[in-house]
Structure 1
């Protein structure tokens, strides 16, 4: 009576996929150039070539394209090109401030020359009043205790100069 170990070994061997799944086909080439693949023999006037066929097994990898050669070929003349940055947004305000400065100003609710109208609204919110004269736009923010702030934009929609702050006069 076989032991448990030998039974387990036999069961494991029976479950393994067989590696000899190749099939040999006869490739029959006629005088006119037509090809026939068959497991039977070829006709008398056909040329016989044996061809091995390995069926695809899941989990296996087959290289469809040969690997590229990365070594430099001695006869090649390689020109170095300047790198192009694709997808970089150009600021309509002329890149007066960089992204880090702009981000810090928005977080600290400060207005810097070179910010766009969208940046100002991100920092301070929607304005209480918008005035447009010629091609210049002015945002007015009414703050607490009678104070107000005014931001001036040029024709491109960029902050010109600094934020102007006013205090309402007392009634005395």
Structure 2
């Protein structure tokens, strides 16, 4: 029974990504004994050790420890914060305050339009005046709820 040429070609193409997924990781040592792992090249004045890792092989990469780390296992280094979340509203609310407000069905100062729409849904009416946007939500018995946003799309505080 002959194999269709397209079927064999398709089978070969499926195996192609397995060979192309290998990554080279460089282990860089500086003069102070600090170790950095990067897929880029090491900086000037740093020694390098390259390791090829193929995810399809199932091999895991465990960075070797230095002699200094083996001698002082409880030595800690200060964590450096590289970036943080910026919600565009000055980070007035932290994650816990935001969750508590959503659970309690509140719209405190500092919430974003996205947070308000997640909580209350799309507004029934949007009113814009100057740099102020007002979301109007119609509720039961003729009552309405209004949420006022500033020019940055953040809930404004009470005057």
From the CA coordinates, give the structure whose radius of gyration is larger. Answer: 1
TM-score (norm 1): 0.46
